[in-house]
Amino acid sequence: MIDAIIVGLGNPGKGYARTRHNVGEETVALLCKRLGLNLKAGRDKALVAETGMGDKRVVLAFPTTYMNESGQAVGALMRRHRLVEPAQLIIVHDELDLETGVVRVKVGGGLAGNNGLRSITQHLHTQDYLRVRIGIGKPRSKEQGTDHVLSRVPKAEREILDVMIERAADIVELMVAEGPDAAMQRFNGL
């Protein structure tokens, strides 16, 4: 029986690797590296790995759909593993409304214009799942939004994001072990 599903959002393909939009995917990849796992193609439009994390059984996943269709994979994974509680789902994603260098835990809430979250909410019919939000900052104008999330990241900012991905992985581990409240208490003030 699976206790939690951890999904890192992003876009598939080498062209999107290491962009701001893929920090969720990078976090799941780091968790797999820490656990000595490789994600493998699954039946649910996602790369997946099933493992133990402490005394909990978890599925780590990265949807193979584009970001705005992430709910297809997440909904299928939730059904396959018979999870009905939104609190059993942890979504790791980029967040325009947080400055680069900030990572926050959130339980439910709005979508903040994130099409991946919108898709997940449409498929699950709830917004009450857990989130690890990795700040990527806002572009100068709304018109630059797509370029901001999908373009290569300058070296200095990339170094900050790499540290935030490490922190996000630590947060996920704490959320699985002790729950979202413990993670919020420890990390939301940093």
Q: How does DSSP classify residue 60? A: E
Positive/negative CA dihedral, 138, 20, 128, 123: positive
Is 154 buried (19+), middle (13-18) or exposed (0-12) by CB count in 10 A? Answer: exposed
C-beta contacts of 65-69 below 8 A and 24+ residues apart: 65/12, 66/11, 66/12, 67/9, 67/10, 67/11, 67/21, 67/115, 67/116, 67/119, 68/115, 68/116, 68/118, 68/119, 69/119
Task: Identify the residue whose tokens are 């699985």.
Answer: 176
Tell me if residue 21 is catalytic.
Answer: yes
Catalytic residues: 21
